[in-house]
Amino acid sequence: MGGIFLRRARPAPVEVINDISGDVVNFFRITQRHPAALAAELRSMLSGREEFDRLRRVDPTTLTDIERAARFLYLQRLTFGGKIRTRCFGVDKVNSSRFDPRKVLPNLDRLTARLAGVTIERLGYADVIARYDDPRALFYLDPPYWDCEDDYGPGVFERADFERLADQLATLRGRFILSINATDGARAVFSRFAIEDVETTYTVGAQGGKRVRELIITNKE
């Protein structure tokens, strides 16, 4: 979701980011409101397996909001494959550490500028769709991949939520774009909508790219 948001050529008149993760929402909020304090926290952090493991074990709710935001970015930069539920320290034999303040901080400055005026929500998908649905609205939806429903932890999203989501989107007044891995199950659940099959590349660590197929689903006429 964040990648699509950041690649927009220009901001929309009204923009909303939604994520059910408290870490993600806190990170966006601190980046938006306290970028200097977050940058100072990040400058003091060094890339290392022991520090990674220590921070991974920390309960984020025991930290200040700024410490929590720095922890989230640190772990996500160094986690193999960027997975939240099964974080493990990623190594790269070719490139320098992915957590390098010289590279991270300029990107943080750009993110701060991009988040100006953006509303940050932490709601379930059904609630945020209902609250912001409008004939002028465009939703970009990035649910967990099919067969990966528990990647973001227990109780967040289950297989039956795909059906619930499809039913809600069928009554949408606005427009939507949804991306998901190409599986027979996803094709069946979203068969009432327009489905485009596309090829993309998944890149994880230094192992090179893997060509895969995804579905782009819309309610276009």
pLDDT per position as a tens digit, 83-112: 565 677 776 677 778 888 888 999 999 999
Residue 206 has pLDDT above 50, yes or no: no
> Is 123-218 the same fold as 21-114?
no
Given a contact cutoff of 8 angstroms between Cβ atoms, the answer to whether 176 and 219 are in contact is yes
pLDDT of residue 82: 52
Domain residue limits, the chain: 21-114, 123-218
pLDDT digits (tens, 9 = 90+) for 52-80: 999 999 999 999 999 999 999 999 989 86
Concatenated DSSP letters of 86-148: T--B---SSS--S--HHHHHHHHHHHHHHTTT-EEE---HHHHHHHH--TT-EEEE-PPPTT-
What mean pLDDT comes out for the span 24-31?
A: 95
In this prediction, residue 202 has a pLDDT band, given cuts at 50, 70 and 90, of low
The CATH classification number of 21-114 equals: 1.10.1020.10
Which CATH number does the domain 123-218 belong to among 3.40.50.150, 3.50.50.60, 1.10.645.10, 3.40.50.10800? Answer: 3.40.50.150
pLDDT of residue 89: 79
Whole-model pTM over 0.85:
no
